[in-house]
Each structure stands twice: as structure tokens, then as C-alpha cells.
């Protein structure tokens, strides 16, 4: 089993990433029962293969995950580097014995890997977003994704008039 150091994790998160193929935006979410989901692949400037996974509850707008993962070299395993979650649940950091409420960001850590827990089991409160679209924008900016989000904003029916 591979163990990434905190420095390697940070480098993987922040390496520039380009879309695979000719797609320049994220795919539309597709209903899969209780959730809508989408997946997109990117290639990092460092040669690594990355995957963005989007999941949003159909019943609760506060229940979502926006995930960045990297393929572990020489395997079919995806290692979750960063996960932006909604505020639909309370998160507990088991090693620290702390609780995080509200929107929160999971980051893979060497410490959690070595303890036998999920690599991205550590989370901190998020101050950079307050909804699904905001979480998606944060991922795109922080992970240096060269793709544009396909957001569900309503078009204005009446443009603002200028004097």
C-alpha cells in the first residue's frame, strides 16, 4: 500500500491539471437514484492521472461532495486528495478528538494513512464556500484545474439597465 507524505499530497493537489480529451467543462450531473453524480478525468503536468467526482443529493442541497483523486501509479486505486463536503452532517477527526460542523474540507494526510484510517479522514471547517457551486469553484481554483464548471445559475430575464 502506498503512503504519500504531506508534502507529496500538497504537490499533487496544486500541480496544474488539463482536461483529458476535448472537453473543457465538467460533465452534467446525472441522476443515480438519491443522488446526481458526474466524473471527469484530468492529466497533471507531472504526468499523473486525476479524477474529479461530483455528488449531490437530490433531496438535500446541503448534502454534497466535490472530490479530487489521483490514480496510484501502477494500480487501479484512486487516492482521495481533497474532498469538499456540504453541511449535512457532523465530522469527527478521530486522531485529534475534534468535531467539525458546517461545510468542511477533507484533506489526505500522512498521519491518517499511517493510522490505518481513510487517507482523507481529516477535515477542517470551510470558510471559502457556502454551497455546492462554491465548493466546485474552490476545487477548480485550488487544484489548478484547467476546466470550467458547468453551474446551474439561472439566466437573468431582464438585464440591468445602465443610465
Condensed to tens digits (0 to 9), the pLDDT of residues 39-57 reads 999 999 999 999 999 999 9
**pTM for this entry:** 0.87
- In 3-117, which ranges are E strands? 17-19, 30-31, 35-44, 49-57, 64-71, 78-85, 91-93, 98-100, 104-107
Across 35-49, 59-73, 111-125, 148-162, least confident range: 148-162
Q: What's the whole-number average pLDDT of the chain?
A: 89
Residue 22's pLDDT is what? 67
Q: Where do the structural domains in the chain lie, given as residue ranges?
A: 6-142
Residue 158's pLDDT is what? 45
State which H helix or E strand residue 13 sits in: helix 6-14
pLDDT category at 3 given cuts 50, 70, 90 is confident
Residue 157's pLDDT is what? 45
CB 61: neighbour CB atoms within 10 A? 12
Do the Cβ atoms of 57 and 35 come closer than 8 Å?
A: yes
Condensed to tens digits (0 to 9), the pLDDT of residues 91-128 reads 999 999 999 999 999 999 999 999 999 999 999 999 99
Q: How far apart are CA 26 and CA 131, in angstroms?
A: 17
Amino acid at each position: 500500500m502506498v503512503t504519500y507524505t504531506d508534502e507529496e499530497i500538497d504537490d499533487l493537489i496544486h500541480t496544474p491539471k488539463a482536461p483529458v480529451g476535448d472537453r473543457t467543462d465538467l460533465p452534467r450531473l446525472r441522476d443515480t437514484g438519491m443522488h446526481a453524480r458526474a466524473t471527469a478525468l484530468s492529466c497533471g503536468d507531472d504526468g499523473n492521472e486525476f479524477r474529479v467526482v461530483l455528488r449531490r443529493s437530490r433531496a438535500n442541497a446541503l448534502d454534497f461532495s466535490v472530490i479530487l483523486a489521483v490514480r496510484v501509479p501502477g494500480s487501479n486505486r484512486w487516492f482521495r486528495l481533497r474532498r469538499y463536503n456540504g453541511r449535512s452532517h457532523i465530522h469527527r477527526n478521530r486522531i485529534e478528538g475534534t468535531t467539525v460542523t458546517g461545510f468542511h474540507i477533507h484533506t489526505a494526510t500522512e498521519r491518517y494513512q499511517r493510522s490505518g484510517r481513510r487517507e482523507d479522514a481529516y477535515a477542517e471547517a470551510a470558510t471559502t464556500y457556502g454551497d455546492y457551486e462554491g465548493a466546485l469553484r474552490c476545487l477548480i481554483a485550488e487544484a489548478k484545474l484547467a476546466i470550467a464548471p458547468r453551474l446551474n445559475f439561472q439566466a437573468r430575464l431582464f438585464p440591468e439597465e445602465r443610465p
